Structure 1
Amino acid sequence: MTGPYHRGEREAHRRAGLGEEAEVSGRAIRDTVPPVAAAFLTTQRLLVAGAADSRGDVWATLLTGPAGFLRAPDERTLEIGARTAPDDPLASTLAGPARVGMLAIEADTRRRMRMNGHARPDGDGLRVALDQVVANCPKYIQKRTPPEADAPGPHGGPARVRTGDRLTPEQQRLLAGADTFFVATADEDGHADASHRGGNPGFLQVLAPDRLRWPDYTGNAMLLTLGNLLVNPRAGLVVPDYATGSTLHLTGTAHTTWDPGAAGIPGAQRLVDFTVTGVVELAGTLPAGWSPPAYSRFNPAVPGGASLPAV
């Protein structure tokens, strides 16, 4: 079976013992946007985007705008009415043609939609020729409500930026308490993908100033992220701080441990270790003041973590 999968994804299915499940799930991978998905896009205010830069480093970022800033004028095209801030790690990449992976996510309804394609600048935004459209399940999404569309962020003027190649103590605390992050990967030819990872606070472990680990929970069996990592270990993370509106962007390399019993972490089917090689922290890039999260009832317990209400 090949279907919509490349060789890394097929190898991931083999290692995970999910070949039959992946074949069934692969039927949900399309190259067009169905009408219901096009309608969903017009109501969204946040889009995750991932791509490889000119050095091959993979980064993830967030694009935001009022409802309507995303539009599918036809079944193979996405128009994005926003661009990144000048200091964003993908600003120069998205200033020209680029292969991008994208995820539209609506946290207050736990709906998400994954899209991959080729982007080019278009006025004050981007136009993406789509070659992959995937509907994803709502597992592990924490329900939270965004602020009103016209709510100001906490920072005026240009976004502040902090860069480095190691995590500061403050950044480590943010990561250790995170319940959501987004990960971007790319295959050996640079075709990018963006995905969501969620869990109870503490599911993302900070092992050192340059090393993170997270569990890979049961999902839709496509293993698109892990399949990319088998052929290209470079990856990028973006971690939103929903209270302040800041975003923490990391690039580095990732390695998957395929032993499901590794480290005895509840719910972990596999473990992913991430080595940080670049850090960019931007302030004021997201609308600030989101509601506190209602944790997904699918989130496995975190060792040493408190019992959390879930819905």
Structure 2
Amino acid sequence: MNHPETASAGAGKSAFHRGERAVQQRAGVLEKMAARSQVIRTAMPDQHREFFSQLPFMIVGSVDRQQQPWASIMTGPPGFVGSPDAEHLRVHAHALAADPLQQNLAANAAIGLLGIEPHTRRRNRMNGRVEQLDADGWTLKVEQSFGNCPKYIQARRPSTVDNASVAAPQVHRADALDGAMQQLIGSADTFFIATAFLQEQSADGEAGEGGYGADVSHRGGKPGFVRIDDAKTLTVPDFVGNFFFNTIGNLVVHPRAGLLFIDFASGDLIYLAVTTELIWDGPEVASFAGAQRLLRFHVEQAIRVEASLPLRWGAAEFSPALEPMGAWPA
């Protein structure tokens, strides 16, 4: 949902852009979702404002100058994110070393936020634009605020570590997945995906369908649910969700995404820039129990930063929603 017009803005205006509506129609839930537009707000309720303020990290989606989305993580002591009013979030933090967010934060930049507390399986989403950027951090103007269900979240609790001595963490850049990247990704039970809906221009130069925004979302599965087909290709099942189809709807219109993988034990981070192929049905989809469709990611850029994250997590309690789901190989 990267469309600034929400149901609360007036009758007849959809909270969903054409890509999301197309996928909802394909899934047979278009009418049902039109009736649920009231859950998408143009300001944050108090419980969302309080939730963001208690988090030690949040996930950020942004878009670079080449229209490539990237998924990132920002950290700080609880309170590093605050809400001075229901229409703004203030972030007192800076992007981590080698994170593409360093270059993507700019005045009026479209940003997607995911506040997630894994050990309680709570998560809330917020999409907006950078209104202020200064030496202390940045302020985001809210365009959309909405909650997400706890499905597929692995319960793990973070703790802070002192990695101040890592002044210049090792950074590995490639256009394909090296061995260390494949090892982390192949055992992952969680990743984050950033997508974007880009404003179109008509032939006369006027803006087409309104809206330009970034979005970022969580994906969880049994360890190994991200299949490594080769050093340039990943395949992932897409499970049933809330039928908003924010991510899939964005990919229908703009098939590029940013993926973030976290090594919860070491603090290593992998940022991937990918193009995406949607596999709607067929024997490959049917071979993975619980998959509604598949996402095939073609890697364009890969960045691995060693021990970048000043957080560590213990063992995970896997989501009970994953019990009926399949695994690779089928």
Q: Same fold (TM over 0.5)?
A: yes
Instruction: Find the aligned partners of 1:44 and 1:25 in 2 and give their Cα distance.
Output: 28
Q: RMSD value over aligned CA atoms? A: 1.8
2:299 pairs, out of 271, 276, 293, with 276
- Select 2:220's aligned residue among 198, 213, 224: 198
> Are 2:225 and 2:328, in contact at CA under 8 Å, matched by a contact in 1?
no
1:136 aligns with 2:136: no
**Which residue does the alignment assign to 1:227?**
249
One of 39, 51, 54 as aligned partner of 2:65? 54
Separation (CA, whole Å) in 1 of partners of 2:108 and 2:169: 25
1:308 maps to which residue? none
Q: Which moved more, 1:279-288 or 1:133-142?
A: 279-288
Q: TM-score by structure 1 length? A: 0.92
SS in 2 for 1:289: strand
Q: Which residue identity lines up with residue 325 of structure 2 in the other structure?
A: A
Please report how far the alpha carbon of residue 59 of structure 1 lies from its aligned counterpart in structure 2 after TM superposition.
0.8
* Residue in structure 2 matched with residue 65 of structure 1 by the alignment: 76
Question: Residue 37 and residue 237 in structure 1: after superposition, are their counterparts in 2 closer, same or farther (change >3 A)?
Answer: same
On the 8 A contact 2:74/2:96 being kept in 1, the answer is no
What residue number does 2:209 align with? none
Q: Distance in 2 between matches of 1:75 and 1:182?
A: 26
Larger Rg: 2
Q: Which amino acid in 1 is paired with 2:318?
A: Y
What code does the residue aligned with 1:253 have? T
CA-to-aligned-CA distance 1:181-236 (integer Å, 9 cap, x gap): 00000012241000000011011111111111111101100000000001101100
Question: Is contact 1:26–1:222 with CA below 8 Å preserved after alignment?
Answer: no
Distance in 2, matches of 1:273 and 1:83, equals 32
What residue number does 1:302 align with? Answer: 326
- Contiguous gaps of at least 5 residues in structure 2: 1-11, 200-211
- 1:82 and 2:93 matched: yes
**Alignment correspondent of 2:134:** 122
Which residue of structure 1 aligns with residue 232 of structure 2? 210
Distance in 1 of aligned mates of 2:155 and 2:117: 9
Structural mapping, 1:145-160, within 5 Å: 145-147=157-159, 149=160, 151-153=161-163, 156-160=166-170
Which residue in the other structure is 2:171 paired with? 161
Contact 1:187–1:228 (Cα < 8 Å) also in 2: yes
**2:62 partner letter:** A
Q: 1:153·1:288 contact (CA, 8 Å) conserved in 2?
A: no
Question: Could you tell me which residue of structure 1 aligns to residue 203 of structure 2?
Answer: none
2:312 to 258, 271, 289: 289
- For structure 1, which segment, 221-230 or 25-34, has the greater mean C-alpha deviation from structure 2 after superposition? 25-34
* Residue in structure 2 matching 1:184, options 194, 198, 209: 194
Partners of 1:161 and 1:22 lie apart in 2 by 43
Alpha-carbon separation, structure 1, partners of 2:187 and 2:163: 22
Q: Is the 8 A contact 2:227 2:235 kept in 1?
A: yes
Following superposition, the deviation at residue 157 of structure 1 comes to 1.4
Q: Is the 8 A contact 1:166 1:209 kept in 2?
A: yes
Contiguous gaps of at least 5 residues in structure 1: 306-311
Question: Are the structure 2 counterparts of residues 213 and 8 from structure 1 closer, same or farther at C-alpha, using a change threshold of 3 Å?
Answer: same
Asked if the contact 1:97–1:121 (Cα under 8 Å) also holds between the matched residues in 2, the reply is no
Q: How many residue pairs were aligned?
A: 303
CA contact (8 A) 2:155 2:318 kept: yes
Runs of 4 or more consecutive aligned structure 1 residues displaced over 6 Å after TM superposition: none
Q: Matched residue of 1:175: which SS?
A: helix
Deviation at 1:39, TM superposition (A): 1.1
AA aligned opposite 1:303:
A
